[in-house]
Amino acid sequence: MRHGMRRSIKNIVLAVITFSMWGGAIAEAGPLDASLRGDYSMTATRTCNDAAQTILFTIVVRGTSTFDGSGGGSFNGQSLAITPQTAQANQSCTVIYTVNADGTFTQQMNCNLTFSAGPDAGNTATLNGIQIQGQLSLDGTVILLSDTAINVETFTWTSGPNNGIVSTRECNTSGSATSRR
């Protein structure tokens, strides 16, 4: 009986020590930003309203997101605004991201735009405050973008006849990104 009790106590102590070490490792790990590293092909649709809620427009975005494994990265690609007038722009963005323990994903982007087609061709602008939410797949190869919250962004013309004009817009995003490994 004493031998069985000793073994039970030994197993309990071993379990407590193992759980404490494991729990400490999880607490020290923090966000799982390292689970997101490399190049991803991204396609997304963004629906936006101007701040006065008078103009609804849709923007299709495609390009490559690069994640550095420590919460930073970039996006390079093109966007096509479909309504109210068609305009195409090349985008170069800085990215800050976080991956949480449950696989949820948050990304903030600030972009430089150069318009390549449409009435604003040749003009440039900045777009700041883009926030995108999503979910990272278990194997880290797919990101589902499903941002239903309204995100307020700041659009500033940096050249052309509208140079210096600042406007805000409210947008949400849906799409996906797939690892290019």
Average pLDDT over residues 81-87: 82
**What fold does the segment set 33-179 form as a domain?**
Porin (2.40.160)
Q: Residue 156: name the closest of 124, 120, 109 by CA.
A: 124
**Per-residue pLDDT tens over the stretch 144-176:** 998 777 889 999 999 999 999 999 999 999 999
> Which tokens in the block code for residue 78?
């093109």
- For residue 62, the model assigns a pLDDT of 97
Q: Residue 2: what pLDDT? A: 52
Residue-wise pLDDT for 24-64, tens only, equals 333 334 456 778 899 999 999 999 988 777 778 899 999 99
Over residues 64-83, the pLDDT tens digits come to: 999 999 999 999 999 999 87
**CA angle 47-63-169, nearest 5°?**
25
Per-residue pLDDT tens digits for 95-115: 999 999 889 989 999 999 999
User: What is the model's pLDDT at position 146?
Assistant: 85
* Residues sharing a CB contact under 8 Å with residue 50, sequence separation 6 or more, in sequence order: 167, 168, 169
Q: Quick check: 146 and 136 in contact, CB under 8 A? A: no
